Amino acid sequence: MEGTFILVITIFVLAMFLGFEVITKVPPTLHTPLMSGSNAISGIAIIGALIGAGAEQTSLASILGIVAVTLATVNVVGGFLVTDRMLKMFVSKRKG
Amino acid sequence: MFESISAYAYLVASALFILGLKRLGSPRTAPQGNVMAAGGMLIAIVATLFHQDIVRYEGIIAGILLGSIIGAATAYRVQMTAMPQMVAIFNGLGGAASALVAASELTRLNMAGANPDAFITVPIALGCLIGAVTLTGSLIAFAKLQEIISGSPILFPLQNGLNLLIAVGVLGLSVLLVMDPSDPRLLWSIVGLAAFLGILLVIPIGGADMPVVISLLNSYSGLAACATGFVIQNQVLIISGSLVGASGLILTQIMCRAMNRSLANVLFGGFGATAANTAIATSASGGIAKSGTPDDAAAIFDAARSVIIVPGYGLAVAQAQHAVRDLGDMLEARGIEVTYAIHPVAGRMPGHMNVLLAEADVPYEKLVEMERINSSFPRTDVALVIGANDVTNPDARENPGSPIYGMPILEVDKAKTVMVIKRSMSPGFAGIENPLFTMPQTIMLFGDGKSMVESLISAVKEL
């Protein structure tokens, strides 16, 4: 168990560093899309929700899972779509 | 077999998230970056659907369908001015989902009779705690931004003491949960108490500080996903949760720096409540503002070589973005150099003003950040301030007694002429008096942002 923990915490620390490096390069003009896009990414909790929601018998665990799937889907679908909508505005529609 | 295929799929998904965020580094590549991140999410979801523990799909299909409809409808309908509210509510949903997954996993482990150790139960407690705080905190932020509840800080005696007490209580319950994971009452007490704490932590924060709060809650939603990743020991959750956590923290830091405030001061300072009193005190000693007509303004534009437009949130409220773009185009057609000065907290969330102007088709190359444009003001003929107030307040630079002293501002007062479009002399969102309005080179153009800009357009046309 501790072996797995060391592995995952290593990934966590390295991903934090990576996150700081990547995100600092995003210009202020794109901070709102960055926020809504990264918000959509945080809907990744849906992965854990799916496993709980698909359990064989209906139980408290599976009901919580289904609610979590719904909320996370709103977050993921809404987040990516609205980011797309915003980013397209930055590509100028005016000619020349 | 499944284990290894899904693990590879998660690796691909993680890589796509990182590449997607990297492509957000430029407006040109950003749309593609967002598609890559969305693709990564799709791969991760599809790979998970083949998990051996998933045997029933009715609930999953219902949840995904319902969630997709709500998400898509919101995304297509939301006004760009309401983007902060939408991000706030989505942050909250992400946090809630993470907390629910952690709670669901503990319930499942207990049903299976497993006795989870601290490597699992500590993240469960953290996931529930951060997730619940994110949910209720975001709901309060949403209500304040939507003006369902007042934007001014709600303060009561011993507030920080009560918060501290609750925080200690939640941590104490978490320790008990780790010692005895089989008692569901502990889990739900943590969720309930943390949800209460989320409310208490956001109500004392003023409306003007919402950009910081949204950024911070964004970070929390990532960290909650991260904690859940530790619970189900899934790398893709940990990697993407950390990316979002880091992103939110960076934005929080940028917002705090733009207001010259420490995070602690934003969170616990009750800023805005004290500021309102100071405003009353100084307004009595204020000078007389000079009011002008659109024709006066047009005559000044006629002689100008360079104009810097300084948009604030008031511009968005008046829906004047398109009119401002038209005015800018018209001035440019007369050979005047037009740029837009963007303060980091010009909108209600980081980068908000840029999105609002992009919606009106203002090319992003014309939007200049505060640090780069401040040196241009002394060489500028006209600074046109529309719906911005505190971010142009010279007191922030000169008056140590001002509540916003030290906050970096757009130095519009250094321009040869300053025009301010404003409804009235009333102080702004933070309730602070602005001496810019009574300076000798300032002309106040009183009126609604949109109709005043339209009057300016017709006055310039008649030149």
Q: Domain-by-domain residue ranges, chain A?
A: 28-88
Q: How close B22 comes to chain A (CA, Å)?
A: 6
User: Which one of B28, B34, B252, B371 makes the best mutation probe of the A interface by having the most chain A beta carbons within 10 Å?
Assistant: B34
Of A4, A50, A84, the CB nearest to B54: A50
Phi, psi of B57 (to 5 degrees): -115, -10
A7: distance to nearest CA of chain B, Å? 9
pLDDT range class, residue A1, cuts 50, 70, 90: low
Residues of chain A in contact with residue B352, where contact means CB-CB under 8 angstroms, are 32
pLDDT of residue B318: 85
Listing from the earlier edge strand, what are the strands of the sheet with B306-311? Answer: B367-369, B337-342, B306-311, B382-386, B417-422, B442-446
Residue tagged 């501290």 (tokens): B164
ipTM: 0.95
pLDDT, position B430: 61
Q: Would you call A22 and B20 a contact, using CB atoms and an 8 Å cutoff? A: no
Q: How far apart are CA B296 and CA B189, in angstroms?
A: 65
Closest CA to B202 of B243, B158, B242, B145: B145
Assess whether pLDDT exceeds 60 at residue A94: no
Name the residue among A18, A36, A78 with its Cα closest to residue B351: A36
How far away is chain B from the Cα of A96, in angstroms, using its nearest Cα? 11
Structure-block tokens of residue B93: 């949903």
Q: Classify domain B277-462 by CATH architecture.
A: 3-Layer(aba) Sandwich (3.40)
Per-residue pLDDT for A96 more than 70?
Answer: no
Residue with tokens 């006629």: B302
Which residues on chain A are in Cβ contact (under 8 Å) with B72? 77-78, 81
Of A48, A69, A77, the CB nearest to B237: A48
Contact A19 B68 (CB under 8 A): no
Domain ranges in chain B are: 1-77, 86-268, 277-462
Q: Please give the Cα distance from B462 to B295 (Å, whole number).
A: 9
Question: Do B94 and A65 lie within an 8 Å CB cutoff?
Answer: no
Catalytic residue among B53, B117, B296, B390: B390
Q: Under 8 Å CB-to-CB from B138, ≥6 apart: which residues?
A: B88, B89, B91, B92, B95, B198, B217, B221
Total CB pairs under 8 A between chain A and B: 377
**Which of A11, A28, A47 is closest, CB to CB, to B48?**
A47
Whether B71 sits inside 8 A of A87 (CB atoms) is no
Q: Which of B90, B111, B136, B343 to mutate to test the interface with A (most CBs of A within 10 A)?
A: B90
Tell which wins on pLDDT, A88 or B273. A88
Among A13, A21, A24, A29, the residue to mutate for chain B (most B Cβ within 10 A): A29
Residues 6 or more apart whose CB falls under 8 angstroms from that of B189 comprise B173
Query: Has B390 been annotated as catalytic?
Result: yes
Chain-centroid distance, C-alpha B461: 38
Nearest neighbour of A4 by CB, restricted to B233, B247, B350:
B233
Phi, psi of B183 (to 5 degrees): -90, 105
Residue B84: which residues within 8 A CB-CB, separation 6 or more? B145, B210, B211, B214, B347, B348, B349, B352
pLDDT at A33 over 60: yes
Dist CA B358 CA B367 (whole Å): 10
Q: Maximum CA pair distance of chain B?
A: 84
Give the C-alpha separation, B134 to B244, whole Å: 14
Contacts of A90 in chain B (CB under 8 A): 27, 30, 358, 364
Q: CA of B353 to nearest chain A CA: how many angstroms apart?
A: 8
pTM of the model: 0.91
Beta bridge partners of B417: B382
How high is the mean pLDDT of chain A? 90
Q: Measured between alpha carbons, how far is residue B374 from residues B307, B341, B343 in Å? A: 13, 8, 10
pLDDT in tens, chain B (463 residues): 667 888 999 999 999 999 999 999 999 999 999 999 999 999 999 999 988 888 889 999 999 999 999 999 999 999 999 999 999 999 999 999 999 999 999 999 998 888 899 999 999 999 999 999 999 999 999 999 998 988 888 888 888 889 999 999 999 999 999 999 998 899 999 999 999 999 999 999 887 788 899 999 999 999 999 999 999 989 999 999 999 999 999 999 999 998 888 888 888 876 655 544 444 434 434 578 889 999 999 999 999 999 999 999 888 888 899 999 999 999 999 999 999 999 998 888 999 999 999 999 999 999 999 999 999 999 999 999 998 888 999 999 998 888 888 899 999 999 999 999 988 777 665 667 889 999 999 999 999 999 999 999 999 998 8
The secondary structure of chain B in percent helix, strand, coil, rounded to multiples of 5, reads 65, 5, 25
The dihedral over CA atoms of B417, B419, B424, B426, expressed in degrees to the nearest 10, equals -60
- Which residue type occupies B166? I
B245 contacts on A by Cβ (under 8 Å): 16, 19
CA distance B105 to B99: 10
Q: Is the pLDDT of residue A13 over 70?
A: yes
The torsion angles phi and psi of B423, rounded to 5 degrees, stand at -65, -45
pLDDT at B314: 84
